[in-house]
Amino acid sequence: MKRALPLLPLLILGSATLTSAADPNPAKSRPSLVDFSQFSKLSLEASQLRSKRLVKWEKFQEIADRPGTIILDTRSKKAFDQVHLKGAVHLNFSDFTEEKLAKAIPDKATTILIYCNNNFSALPGMEVNFAAFADKSPGLALNIPTFINLYGYGYTQVYELSELLDVNDPRITLEGTATSKRP
């Protein structure tokens, strides 16, 4: 009895031959539009400015009260809808493009205040805690890439909340669907 050649390897080989024969000019591979070296350089520049733009709550509020200032929340739409600082404007970080930023903040000299999940918490033992303010790893907090990106897109007046605040702090006014559940 003659031994039959395994059929599967022949089918795969034949298929590969047909595929390459069908397309004599495959698309040339192009590098992605990702430049980690440029990001690293930009991050270093932004970090030098950021160190001078970290503000405590009192200063954050003082700046927020100035005409034309924007409080920008870049968390997800779901988190923003649940709870955010009163008067904040939403633009999801993953939606940052030159065009979308220009639509939300047309003037690059606009004063922009930023905050994220890691700026708010409930004191131990307190009942109120918003899932929308769930802590993230401090080194990966959303404030960091938000600041870097705003700087990289040319926004010159960005300030960042530097404190961890209790969501029950009477100085803070929160709004959103989850705030109705507060005592």
pLDDT digits (tens, 9 = 90+) for 94-147: 999 999 999 999 999 999 999 998 898 865 555 455 666 777 788 889 999 999
Find the DSSP H helices in 28-168: 36-50, 57-64, 77-82, 98-104, 143-152
Tokens for 63, please give them: 């700046």
Rounded-to-integer distance, Cα 9 and Cα 30, Å: 31
Structural domains in the chain plus CATH codes: 59-183 (3.40.250.10)
pLDDT digits (tens, 9 = 90+) for 60-105: 999 999 999 999 999 999 999 999 999 999 999 999 999 999 999 9
> Please, are residues 131 and 82 in contact by the beta-carbon 8 Å criterion?
yes
Rounded-to-integer distance, Cα 132 and Cα 83, Å: 7
User: Could you give the C-alpha distances from 177 to 74, 81, 123, 174, in angstroms and in order?
Assistant: 17, 6, 21, 10
SS3 label, residue 116: coil
pLDDT digits (tens, 9 = 90+) for 17-28: 445 555 566 678
Rounded-to-integer distance, Cα 47 and Cα 147, Å: 9
